[in-house]
Amino acid sequence: MEKKEYGYESLKASVIRDCERAGSCRTFNSEGCDKERCTCFHRYCDKFKWVVDRAKAYAGKTRLDWKDILAQWERDRDYWYMNYYQEYNQPDPEGNEDIRVFETVEDGRASFAGKGFECPSCNKVSSDPCVCSNCGWAVFGLVPSKGSYLFAKDNMRLYHIFTPVAWNPQ
């Protein structure tokens, strides 16, 4: 798929393909699964609606276009959308103080420069934002860890990091 098609259309094409393969789900519905016409248990259309709604929520928090956000998510996605789009990867931004929005990645880095990061496993200050320099615990992996998120508007990416010491009021 060409880059210009990434976003809404690429996600829609993936969902339609899965709906057709499921056999019991014959009709794509952008508003979610049609409970009367769809008997599949996968809920592909519900996931599609969840993703679009979540992109719109990020647009509200960042004042960016939701279609641009979704396009970036789709460019970054390198595995099945049913696993990629979930609360851990795209947490709800509404009232979420753990998500901070910055114009650029560099602005985000400047907000915590030199102060370190709180490891949720050993409770020590790590010099690395993603892997604890004391115990090796990571924010990613099989067991997601607590932390914070930095959303950079310049590249429309969300970074999961240990909570910067500078972001916590003492």
Helix (H) or strand (E) holding 24: none
Spell out the domain ranges in the chain: 1-90, 97-170
CB-CB neighbours of 110 under 10 Å: 12
From the list 132, 163, 138, the residue with the least C-alpha distance to 150 is: 163
Q: Provide the residue-wise pLDDT of the chain in tens; the chain has 170 residues.
A: 444 468 999 999 998 888 888 776 667 767 766 666 666 667 888 899 999 999 999 999 999 999 999 999 999 999 999 999 999 899 999 988 899 999 999 999 999 988 999 999 999 999 999 999 999 999 886 666 688 999 999 999 999 999 999 998 76
